[in-house]
Structure 1
Amino acid sequence: MGGFERFLTVWVALGIAAGVALGLVMPAAFEWIAAMEYAQVNLVVAVFIWVMIYPMMIQIDWAAVKDVRNKPQGLMLTLVVNWLIKPFTMAALGVLFFEYLFAPWVDPASASEYIAGMILLGVAPCTAMVFVWSQLVKGDANYTLVQVSINDLVMVVAFAPIAAFLLGVTNVSVPWETLLLSTVLYVVLPLIAGVLTRSFLQRQSNLAVSNFVAALKPWSIVGLIATVVLLFGFQAQTIIDKPLVIGLIAIPLVLQTYGIFFLSWWGAKLMKLPHDIAGPACLIGTSNFFELAVAVAISLFGLHSGAALATVVGVLVEVPVMLSLVAMVNAWRPAQK
């Protein structure tokens, strides 16, 4: 990692502080940016995420993607964790904390909505940011693309039934525009751009691809920090107005994230997955598709509901927690022989 990347946690912390401060000082500017959305997907955030993902897409070697089928264990691990374990542990933690441990501080109606928001986060594994986490842990770019694609396909058929079952309702309306637009913006378009760029560079020289990716890496980190600034700026007033509620919601979300990661990591070690497969396989389930969760929470419970707030808290805690997990994965990398 370069010097700039080594202090990534510091830059993100400064981004969080800057986002909250700017959101309080210039609320109108952030409201204007927040209004630039389509199908619950903020287009400015989408651009910054695109900047983060594009360098990794260039590294994908289509000639090697077919070899992923010879490594099915990683795909099995992520599918089992994401769809058979994670949604149910999230629901269980929500009930434990908000119906029992936090009952003295939260009224029952609000508690139910917070639990609902947590469930929606638990049923939406990551689509976009996992490319960033995979790049930071030097994960296999080809495998990461395949696992994201398969999880997106499963999400199309599994999100609504699992969410409906855990929420106890039968009329969960999946915002298909959000799901499809996010997939196009965060996977399809940067993938096409990456393929075209790689093809062009390979015609120049063998080192052109690696040199170009190395030149883009700092911009990828800048995209991450800019995304953090925007996300925290959007919610600056909420952070100031409801610090206790945000703290209460964050506790089970953080426990869920670390718990799912360590369960996945244990499974990866049991299955003897190579490090560049184990990293992205474990991180996809610990990160969330927050656009989808927020959109469904708003459509089901309303913009100012406790469920919507819980999904937003999921956004706020994700980046710092995921960076700590990235650091763990890198620290546990086997020594080079």
Structure 2
Amino acid sequence: MGLFERWLTLWVAICILAGLALGAAVPGLFRVLAGMEYASVNLVVAVLIWAMVYPMMIAVDLASLKEVGRRPRGLVVTLVINWLVKPFTMAGLAVLFLGHLFAGLIDPEQAQAYIAGLILLGAAPCTAMVFVWSQLTRGDPNYTLVQVSVNDLIMVVAFAPIVALLLGVTELSVPWATLILSVILYIVIPLIAGALTRRALIARGIPVETFTARIKPVSVLGLLLTVVLLFGFQGPVILAQPLLIGLIAVPIVIQSYGIFALGYGWAWLWRLPHRVAAPCALIGTSNFFELAVAVAIGLFGIHSGAALATVVGVLVEVPVMLSLVAFANRTRDRFPA
């Protein structure tokens, strides 16, 4: 394990502080970087996520993808949690905390906007970062790819009805540009690049594992720079309203650990191998924040409480997910080899 990975939590903490400091010191630079987006997908962050996803895509053996269908239990865990559990538990926790327990600390009208943002977050399972979490837990790259791909196919038909049901809206316009662009950027392009790289390595007799180990520091660096950017983009908001950000984060954190415990525990009871179990639980825990942010802006406006709540989800995700990655790695021996 390299220096970056051994002290990854420390580096992330430093990057969070660096992002907040830089966001306050040079806000103009971060406004320019934040403006470099298309369909609510920030292109600078997209490049960094691509750098994180690419090494895992090299490990995907396209010829072996058909074998995943013979082990359907991991897919069952992922899909049941993502679509039958997660959106509804997030809605319940949002109403409980922001609508009731924190009622004296949050304006009631704004509380409804924050609840709407958290509902959008809970109904949008992850497309990109889950490849990073899977790689950090040494997950099965073939299985992770299939899980994410099936998830995205279901998202096309299930996201809008679930959000419409939970928000009580009659007309919901799904931002197809965001959905399609994210799939192309985070799955299609890295997969093609990974397949071409894998073919070239095999043709030259270079072990795939050796090459991916060599470029792994680039992947970790991409993660750290992403953290700096995300916190730099939102630094002024965090520093101006730290209590509000903390209150919105409470149900998100509880939801994240609860969903992970459910998925990981279910995978353990079913005796799934750790290479499948860890990504199963992490996919359900992580969120497709670009989609959630885009829908929040489209429905409620860029300066709305709903948009702010989805952004808090983005900020909470990396530290929480890294703690879950660490837990999954520590409990690897509890699962079948």
Under a length normalisation based on structure 2, what TM-score does the superposition of the two structures give? 0.98
Deviations 1:252-282 (A, max 9, x none): 1000000000011111112111110001010
Q: Quick one: distance in 1 between partners of 2:88 and 2:319? A: 24
Q: CA deviation at 1:108?
A: 1.4
Q: Does 1:264 align with 2:263?
A: yes
SS at match of 2:161: helix
Give distance in 1, aligned partners of 2:213 and 2:80. Answer: 35
How far apart are 1:3 and its partner, in Å? Answer: 2.5
In the alignment, the residues of structure 1 paired with residue 206 and residue 217 of structure 2 have an alpha-carbon distance, to the nearest angstrom, of: 22
Find the counterpart in structure 2 of residue 293 from structure 1: 292
Match of 1:187 in 2: 187
Residue deviations 1:52-85 (CA, integer Å, cap 9, x gap): 0000000001122111011100000100000000
The alpha-carbon deviation at position 206 of structure 1 amounts to 4.9
Considering only aligned residues, what root-mean-square deviation do their CA atoms show, in Å? 1.1
Deviations 1:158-213 (A, max 9, x none): 00000000001111111000000011000000000000000011001152x22211
Percent sequence identity over matched residues? Answer: 65
Structure 2 residue 71 is matched with structure 1 residue 38: no
- Letter of the 1:330 partner, please give it: N
The CA distance in 1 between the partners of 2:206 and 2:184, in whole Å, is 30
User: Quick one: which amino acid aligns to residue 84 of structure 1?
Assistant: L
Q: Which residue in 2 is equivalent to 1:329? A: 328
Amino acid at match of 1:317: V
Separation of aligned partners in 2, 1:87 and 1:4: 34
Residue of structure 2 equivalent to 1:214: 213
Matched with 1:283 is: 282
How big is the shift at 1:107?
1.5
Letter in 1 for 2:265: W
Across the two proteins, how many residue pairs are aligned to each other? 336
- Distance in 1 (CA, whole Å) between partners of 2:79 and 2:209 is 31
Which stretch has the larger CA shift, 277-286 or 263-272?
A: 263-272
Structure 2: gaps (5+ residues)? none
CA distance in 2, matches of 1:67, 1:21: 48
Amino acid at match of 1:318: E
What are the Cα deviations for residues 88-117 of structure 1, in whole angstroms up to 9, with x where unaligned?
Answer: 000000110112100111121111001000
Between stretches 1-10 and 315-324, larger displacement belongs to: 1-10
In structure 2, the partner of 1:274 is 273
Which residue of 2 is the match for residue 198 of structure 1? 198
Which residue does the alignment assign to 1:64?
64
SS in 2 for 1:334: helix
Q: Do structure 1's residue 11 and structure 2's residue 20 form an aligned pair?
A: no
Aligned counterparts, 1:149-188, within 5 A = 149-188=149-188
Alignment partner of 2:333: what SS? coil
- Other-structure match for 1:116: 116
> By how many angstroms is 1:292 displaced?
0.3
User: Within 1, Cα distance between the matches of 2:72 and 2:34?
Assistant: 40
Q: Secondary structure at the match of 1:173?
A: coil
- Which AA in structure 2 matches 1:323? L
Give 1:82's aligned residue.
Answer: 82
User: Aligned equivalents of 1:245 and 1:110: distance in 2?
Assistant: 11
- Structure 1: stretches of 5+ with no match in the other structure: none
| Paired residues for 1:119-158 under 5 Å | 119-158=119-158
